[in-house]
């Protein structure tokens, strides 16, 4: 059997909520930060939250001091008024969300703002930009 290459559907008119629109709308709500700015926020008491899957963190490393929250439970952990929120989370604490390349984290950061985290944002370029900038990375030895 020959695999059929993935293609964008042309039989469906793009709606106002296609992923490109949703990403752009999310980013309009954010002041995205560079790796150096994320590090400075962390050093000043902000949280860096890594939403990448465990397999990515094991393969590529992690940002020292970053909290890990799987994407599937992120909103419950980021709701500043919720019973499952992260310790020390409050509406004015800077929160920088990190994914691999800065796409999923933009969507998540916009949701975090919607939950009441006024200073939520994401790392432009994601973990890979952090690593490329030569900033500290921890690795797990198997």
For the chain, percent of residues with pLDDT exceeding 70:
87
- The pTM of the full predicted model, rounded to 2 decimals, is 0.84
C-alpha–C-alpha distance, residues 138 and 113, integer Å: 29
| Residue carrying the six token digits 């975090």 | 112
pLDDT at position 50, please? 97
List all residues 6 or more positions away from 86 whose beta carbon is below 8 Å from its beta carbon.
Answer: 47, 49, 67, 69, 77, 78
pLDDT at position 124 over 70: yes
C-alpha–C-alpha distance, residues 48 and 103, integer Å: 16
* The token pair that represents 82 in the structure block: 């919720």
């Amino acid at each position: 059997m020959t695999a059929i290459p993935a293609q964008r559907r042309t039989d469906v008119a793009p709606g106002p909520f296609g992923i490109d629109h949703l990403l752009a709308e999310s980013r309009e709500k954010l002041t995205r930060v560079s790796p150096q700015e994320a590090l400075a926020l962390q050093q000043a008491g902000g949280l860096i939250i890594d939403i990448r899957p465990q397999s990515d963190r094991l393969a590529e490393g992690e940002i020292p001091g970053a909290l890990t929250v799987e994407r599937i439970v992120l909103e419950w952990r980021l709701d500043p008024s919720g019973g499952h929120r992260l310790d020390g989370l409050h509406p004015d604490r800077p929160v920088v969300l990190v994914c691999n390349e800065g796409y999923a984290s933009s969507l998540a950061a916009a949701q975090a703002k919607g939950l009441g985290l006024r200073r939520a944002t994401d790392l432009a370029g994601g973990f890979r930009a952090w690593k490329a900038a030569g900033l500290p990375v921890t690795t797990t030895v198997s």
